[in-house]
Amino acid sequence: MDAGGIAMKLGSCLTAVAMVAALGGCAPQSQRPAIESEAVKAEELEQKKLVIKTMLDQRDLLYRISYRLAKAGADLCGDQITWSLGFLTLGREDGAETDHPTLAALFPDLGNNPIVSYIPPDSVAAAAGLRKGDEVILVGEGGVEPNRYLAANIGLRLTTTDNNPVKLKIRRNGTPLDIAVTPARSCNYPAGITSESVVNAFADGRGVYIAKGMMDFVRTDEELALVTGHELAHNFRKHRDAKQGNAVAGQVAGTILDILVAVAGVNTGGAFGKAGAQLAGNANSVEFEGEADYAGLYVMARAGYAIDDAPTFWRRMGANNPNAISHATTHPATAERFVALNAAIKEIKTKQQSGAPLVPNEKPKEAAPQPLPGEPPLGVTP
């Protein structure tokens, strides 16, 4: 490097140093009280405990709502049926490993066995006499030892035809007890909370997932029941299967175009197939969402929730996302959803007053074409 280059490089360095020095001169000038690192660590633990407590409170809330809806909607869920014992447990190894120290600090009495952490007041477990805080020792005749997978172990012991009482061996205040819980017939679409902060919920054909942002957004049990019932309806109306079927059909049609264009000497890289899958997969998406609103409201009514104020939720959603008030993409506009839910409420209340079954109305099936007079029946050769 020549002398000129060295001088230029040195000048750049001096400029950077001068900028740092200038920024340093803009530092805060107040003299704050000194704080102890131990106090900071203690506050960190308190805030982490608050995070865990909030998560557990929201888990309890969602379970209370989803348990009630799953029982009430069982007749609408076809063969997707399970038998629910109606309680939640908490063990010291639940959650992420990094949360275990916080969990131990929040619940210092947690031992080797999980405890009953929540029981919906209308659940079969409550009716059987199970109480919050009971330590679960053994489950079922075979004596399944509970662990962090307690719920899965219970699920494996129950089938869609087995509603016989399940024996639980528990310990309450140091005293061993035997309790028999008769499972409740329920939809087999469990609900859970995801960590996203967005105001959203979704269904994947196997379960219902409510984002933490939605849990923070809802104000009442009825609002959460509306959201959860909507996602439950997506599942039992088989919307995911229908959308996947549409996507496959669209991909096939698009791939045919890819092949025809390739014959002409143009390589599309499968662009038409991909576009066809996406377009067809979103076909009827708005209608599917509208049907989930409609069928989900029926589940909500079957569960005994007040439905009169349900449409107001969509006014709040519209205020939260103004672009959705009049613009429909893959979901109906919030204004349309408000009006449609009001119409569904009138329909449901009419059925409630007349004693008619609370099941969604179905479109009439198209009649098979009939032969003209004098012609043989279809498929019959004279």
The verdict on 198 and 178 lying in the same domain is no
pLDDT at 26: 74
Alpha-carbon span 177 to 3, nearest angstrom: 91
Q: pLDDT averaged over the chain?
A: 80
The verdict on 203 and 142 lying in the same domain is no
* pTM, rounded to two decimals: 0.77
Most confident of 2-6, 56-60, 322-326: 56-60
Report residue 163's pLDDT band, with 50, 70 and 90 as the boundaries: confident
The verdict on 272 and 136 lying in the same domain is no
Is 359 part of a structural domain of the chain? no
The verdict on 224 and 264 lying in the same domain is yes
- Per residue in 331-378, pLDDT (tens digit) is 778 889 999 999 999 999 999 999 999 999 998 876 555 555 555 444
Lookup: tokens for 112? 């080797």
Helix (H) or strand (E) holding 202: strand 201-203
The verdict on 171 and 202 lying in the same domain is no
The verdict on 211 and 152 lying in the same domain is no
The verdict on 126 and 250 lying in the same domain is no
Residues pairing with 82 in the sheet: 186
The verdict on 259 and 160 lying in the same domain is no
The verdict on 135 and 224 lying in the same domain is no
The verdict on 167 and 258 lying in the same domain is no
Is 266 part of a structural domain of the chain? yes
The residue segments making up the domain with residue 320 are 191-354
Is 41 part of a structural domain of the chain? no
The verdict on 200 and 349 lying in the same domain is yes
Is 87 part of a structural domain of the chain? yes
Distance of CA 91 to the CA centre of its chain: 23
Report residue 176's pLDDT band, with 50, 70 and 90 as the boundaries: very high
Segment 222-244 shows an average pLDDT of 88
Segment 51-79 shows an average pLDDT of 96
Lookup: tokens for 116? 């009953």
If one counts the domains in the chain, the total is 2
Residue at a domain's end among 124, 153, 186:
186
Contact by Cβ (8 Å): 139, 166:
yes
Q: What is the CATH number of the domain that holds 99?
A: 2.30.42.10
The verdict on 176 and 244 lying in the same domain is no
